[in-house]
Amino acid sequence: MTKKRVVVGLSGGVDSSVTAKLLIDQGYEVIGVFMKNWDDKDDPHCPAAVDAMDARNVADHLGIPFYSFNFAAEYWRDVFDYFLEQHRLFRTPNPDILCNQFIKFKVFLEAAEKLGADFIATGHYAKNHFNTETGLFELQVPNDANKDQTYFLYTLKQKALAKTLFPLADLPKPRIREIALESGFHNAKKKDSTGICFVGERDHMEFLKKYLEQTPGDIITEKSDVIGKHIGLSFYTIGQRRNLNIGGVKGYSEAPWFVLVKDTDKNQIIVCQNDDNPRLFQTELKANRLSWVSGKAPSETHLTAKIRYRQDFQDCTARMEGEEIHVTFKDPQRAVTPGQSIVFYDEAEKVCLGGGEIC
């Protein structure tokens, strides 16, 4: 019987490496592909060259074919341009979600199909379950809830899920490390990547300065005292603590400051010193650019949701209003941030239903 062919996105990290190993053990014909999504020319902060070599070494160790695909142009067009546009609108976008939507589960999937792939696979911690009663694929929370990455995958639709495998769904992270060591992978102890490649280990604000115009303005307290200067509203986000450069303000304590409000009319940032300031919390929000895993909005109104990665599930009610969804939370939510995503789950906190961008 002919083996099913799976093209694995090898990132150079331990998760995708073990993904390839598990698929080989399960009897699939496996091909490894490294995706270069950022032009790192003259950019020492992007570790793409090192990651590509690590990916190739794993493929050689496993004895599987290896390719490197350059999707930098598509990434700039479909992810980075939108990333910059949203910052110019004083919003805080999530490029990892956009990358999954437009690159890994679209452009990469299309390229893999040209290699004759029956499926693609990635090292994401998520579960792809086919519900025989509904005839639909479900994006489910993996067994290791601490590593749950469905928040970043909510834009996946039925077409992509029908062609995708998530071999790490049932495994905890410590077991992944053990398998990597048992398999003799040179990257078995490699540190997990954090952030996004085009920022790398740099400060996010310093990176943005290369691409966004600076429009300085005042930083003020709730009493309207001017206590500092900002470089432009595009560089800050609600609840932010770092890079405010405020200290030793006469009449105020030495407690840290937090971004409370971005006043676009006056080009001012209002800050506070208490992390639990009531103005940092809200119980309602609206979201647009909605994407539903099943292809349509859920009929249930009582759901759970997350407004950031690794947040605990939050009880809420939701109702559609045209192209937007209006959400009311049981408990007030801190630092609801326009441009970030709200992702919905069923009440059992098992199935990711979809989500959208906070208005």
What whole-number distance in Å separates Cα of residue 244 and Cα of residue 258? 8
Separation CA 27–CA 5 (nearest Å)? 10
- Strands of the sheet with 226-230, listed across from one edge: 226-230, 217-221, 268-272, 258-263
272 is catalytic: no
Q: Do 125 and 14 touch, CB atoms closer than 8 A?
A: no
Strands (E) in the chain, as ranges, are 5-9, 29-36, 66-70, 119-121, 127-131, 136-140, 164-165, 217-221, 226-230, 258-263, 268-272, 281-292, 302-306, 314-321, 324-334, 341-345, 351-358
Q: Residue 20 corresponds to which amino acid?
A: A
- The 8-class DSSP code of residue 247 comes to -
Q: Which residues, in sequence order, are CB contacts of 347 under 8 Å at separation 6+?
A: 300, 302, 303, 304
CB 137 within 8 A of CB 121: no
From the list 197, 272, 316, 352, the catalytic residue is: 197
Q: Which residues pair with 207 in a beta bridge?
A: none
- Measure the CA–CA gap between 344 and 315, rounded to whole angstroms: 10
197 is catalytic: yes
Q: State the CB neighbour count (10 A cutoff) for residue 199.
A: 17
Residues β-bridged to residue 119 = 6
At position 151, the amino acid (one-letter code) is: Y
Which is the catalytic residue, given 46, 99, 316, 352? 99
Tell me the H-state helices in the chain: 14-25, 48-62, 72-75, 81-88, 95-99, 108-114, 158-161, 173-182, 204-208
Angle at 270 between CA 268 and CA 275, to 5 degrees: 155
CA 194 to chain CA centroid, nearest Å = 11
Catalytic positions are 99, 197
